[in-house]
């Protein structure tokens, strides 16, 4: 019956796992991710030695740690991309339960490392940020709910996903971590839109976001300070935004030269949140445009492959992962050029950070698993077969 409706495709029985993975995976997206990690190591060599010197470490201490965590991230990406969508979903459900509970326990067991927001667990040799691991698992779980609601007699999955999203956003906002909260809300909104949400409901959601932002501005000094700093017409040259803006201006088109940049000596977060400023100063807009092109390639190719996918769960989950990956990069770079308020968000695979690297590897591994070619017939082939 399935063959009568959808047609048949060739299946290579008994094909080894690795050759099958290489044949079906999106090699362009995979190559772009590997290049982004290489760029991160390159920029880490420039940005992290001043911080290592201030903390009395070896010059390339942070580069070595980034390479170590990056190796774990790439391993996690590869292993996850080998999984079937069902295996990814099961792993995500378990991961979501663990990370959500750890997020709830942060006020009691977490630490802020002097940054004013309790977002991490201190493990002694490293720190762990649960919200980074929560994001990809959240996308999979809510996509599963939305896809289930499209079945005849299915559960009210869209309503459940909305309630779950609100709970996570509230927990993140209380840390406070408005950047991650907005990213989670955006990812859910994209999936909700793809699932066929009415425009009126989307406009209502936009209104709730505005009301929530107004409430946060009036009740959170942390949030208000960042918004005021963004809206002020003059930038204090001694702030992180001031240093980053000046570095981008000094870099011009071709940069001041490898190792000649000065912003890394002034910015405490030059190797994390503002690493794009180091890239712009030393290598110029040329490297920045290359970085943007790499992110755009991953997102666009993933969306194009997902458009041909007939499984609603895979379409929704893949779209949510691709959207969050691209928007996180856009937010990080937008903050550095003062197009957006400061968010404290890393640049995926480029910024230093163990949690963000490993969680990013898992998220991209899930995306690669969802965008692999499968012997099930693409949606375009199905439509053509039905018109014959």
Alpha-carbon separation of residue 206 from 75, 107, 136, 156, 304 (angstroms): 38, 29, 23, 22, 27
Lowest mean pLDDT segment, chosen from 8-12, 40-44, 215-219, 242-246: 8-12
Which tens digits make up the pLDDT trace of 2-13?
Answer: 333 333 444 455
What does the mean pLDDT of the chain come to?
85
Q: What is the pLDDT of residue 379?
A: 52
Element (H, E) at 128: strand 127-128
DSSP 309: -
Q: Are 320 and 142 in contact (CB under 8 A)?
A: yes
Which tens digits make up the pLDDT trace of 290-328?
Answer: 999 999 999 999 999 999 888 999 999 999 999 999 999
Place of tokens 């404290």: 344
Q: What is the pLDDT of residue 177?
A: 84
Pairwise CA distance, residues 136 & 76, whole Å: 13
List the one residue out of 136, 140, 132, 134 whose CA is nearest residue 101.
134
Pairwise CA distance, residues 255 & 306, whole Å: 38
The strand pair at 127-128 and 121-122 is best described as antiparallel
Q: What is the pLDDT of residue 9?
A: 42
Pairwise CA distance, residues 383 & 201, whole Å: 30
SS3 111: strand
Rg (CA), the chain: 22
- The answer to whether residue 127 scores a pLDDT higher than 70 is yes
Non-local CB neighbours of 75 within 8 Å, separated by 6+ positions: 361
Q: Kindly report the pTM of this predicted structure.
A: 0.88
Q: What is the pLDDT of residue 53?
A: 86
Q: What is the pLDDT of residue 365?
A: 97
- Mean per-residue pLDDT, 228-237: 67
Lowest mean pLDDT segment, chosen from 55-69, 157-171, 192-206: 192-206
Pairwise CA distance, residues 257 & 318, whole Å: 39
CA angle 154, 157, 158 (to 5 degrees): 130
SS3 184: helix
| Number of residues written out for the chain | 388
Lowest mean pLDDT segment, chosen from 17-21, 28-32, 107-111, 384-388: 384-388
- The answer to whether residue 218 scores a pLDDT higher than 80 is no
DSSP letter for each residue of 242-296? HHHHHHHHHHTTT-S-TT---GGGT-TTTTTTTHHHHHHHHHHHHHHHHHHHHHH
Place of tokens 């290579």: 12
- Mean per-residue pLDDT, 97-123: 86
- The answer to whether residue 104 scores a pLDDT higher than 70 is yes
Q: Residue 15 — very low, low, confident or very high, per pLDDT cuts 50/70/90?
A: confident
């Amino acid at each position: 019956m399935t063959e009568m409706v959808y047609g048949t495709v060739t299946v290579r029985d008994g094909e080894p796992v690795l050759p099958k993975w290489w044949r079906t995976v999106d090699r362009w997206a995979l190559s772009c991710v590997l290049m982004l990690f290489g760029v991160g190591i390159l920029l880490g060599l420039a940005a992290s030695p001043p911080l290592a010197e201030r903390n009395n470490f070896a010059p390339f201490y942070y580069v070595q740690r980034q390479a170590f965590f990056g190796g774990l991230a790439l391993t996690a990406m590869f292993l996850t991309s080998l999984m079937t969508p069902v295996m990814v979903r099961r792993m995500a459900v378990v991961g979501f339960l663990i990370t959500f509970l750890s997020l709830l326990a942060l006020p009691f067991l977490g630490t802020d490392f002097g940054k004013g927001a309790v977002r991490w667990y201190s493990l002694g040799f490293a720190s762990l940020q649960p919200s980074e691991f929560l994001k990809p698992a959240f996308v999979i779980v809510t996509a599963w709910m939305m896809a289930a609601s499209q079945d005849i007699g299915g559960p009210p999955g869209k309503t459940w996903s909305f309630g779950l999203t609100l709970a996570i956003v509230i927990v993140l906002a209380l840390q406070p971590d408005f950047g991650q909260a907005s990213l989670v809300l955006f990812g859910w909104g994209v999936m909700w839109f793809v699932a066929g949400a009415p425009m009126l409901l989307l406009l209502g959601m936009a209104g709730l976001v505005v009301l929530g932002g107004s409430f946060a501005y009036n009740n959170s000094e942390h949030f208000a300070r960042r918004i005021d700093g963004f809206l002020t017409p003059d930038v204090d040259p001694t702030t992180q935004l001031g240093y980053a803006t000046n570095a981008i201006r000094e870099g011009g088109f071709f940069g001041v030269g490898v190792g000649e940049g000065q912003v890394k000596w002034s910015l405490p977060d030059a190797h994390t949140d503002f690493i794009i400023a180091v890239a712009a100063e030393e290598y110029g807009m040329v490297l920045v445009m290359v970085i943007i092109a790499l992110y755009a390639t991953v997102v666009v190719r993933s969306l194009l492959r997902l458009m041909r996918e007939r499984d609603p769960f895979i379409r929704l989950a893949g779209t949510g992962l691709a959207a969050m990956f691209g928007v996180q990069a856009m937010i990080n770079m937008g903050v550095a050029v003062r197009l957006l308020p400061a968010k404290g968000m890393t640049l995926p695979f480029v910024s230093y950070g163990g949690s963000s690297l490993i969680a990013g590897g898992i998220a991209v591994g899930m995306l690669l698993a969802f965008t692999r070619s499968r012997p099930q017939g693409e949606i375009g082939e199905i439509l053509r077969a039905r018109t014959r």
